[in-house]
Amino acid sequence: ATQYEFPKAIGALYHEAFHACFSEWSMPEANAILLKDEYDALVLLEETRIEAQGLLAKPRCAPFLKASAMELVVADSAESFTSMPDTAKAGMLVGLVHSRVEAGILNADDVTEVLDLVESFLGADTIRQLLDIADKFRAHDDHGNATPLYDLAREWAKLLRDKAEENGESSESEQSA
């Protein structure tokens, strides 16, 4: 009865419940197989995948996921990126914000400033390539088997590695996890 009094908390609860429902794969196994930046990409993209799957199963949770994302994800991530921008943080914003817009969790109008900021850093082509990967990732519905997602995580990480190199950034990302 009080869920609308605490929408961001309810959204966070839904988010964690969706992990319990849809993230049935082995994190230690993925961590052992993937490079550090690839594993980080897998975990990042899983955040929106489980919310997209949750929206399919329970559409009425949409306003709560939005409230949680706006308060807990968008504000903190954008502030962190603005204070010290780099390719890894820009990629994280694509995974956490742009991808949620594409999944229908956030409205582009609510996050225009963040979208523009990241586009000015990464460029529209790179963002489109990342979002194509995220779209494929979100569509994955074999919740107990993340192995097919490994190649998408590798693709995401390589794209960001290449962009970081292009931007003249040093990278520790190829170290194994």
Tens place of pLDDT for every residue, the chain, 177 residues?
Answer: 677 889 999 999 999 999 999 999 999 999 999 999 999 999 999 999 999 999 999 999 999 999 999 988 887 777 778 878 899 999 999 999 999 999 999 999 999 989 999 999 999 999 999 999 999 999 999 999 999 999 999 999 999 999 999 989 975 544 444
Q: Which pLDDT belongs to residue 103?
A: 94
- Helix, strand, or coil here: 35? strand
User: Distance (Å, rounded) from C-alpha 39 to C-alpha 45?
Assistant: 10
| Position 18, amino acid | F
Q: Which pLDDT belongs to residue 176?
A: 43
Q: Which pLDDT belongs to residue 79?
A: 78
32: part of which helix (H) or strand (E)?
Answer: helix 27-33
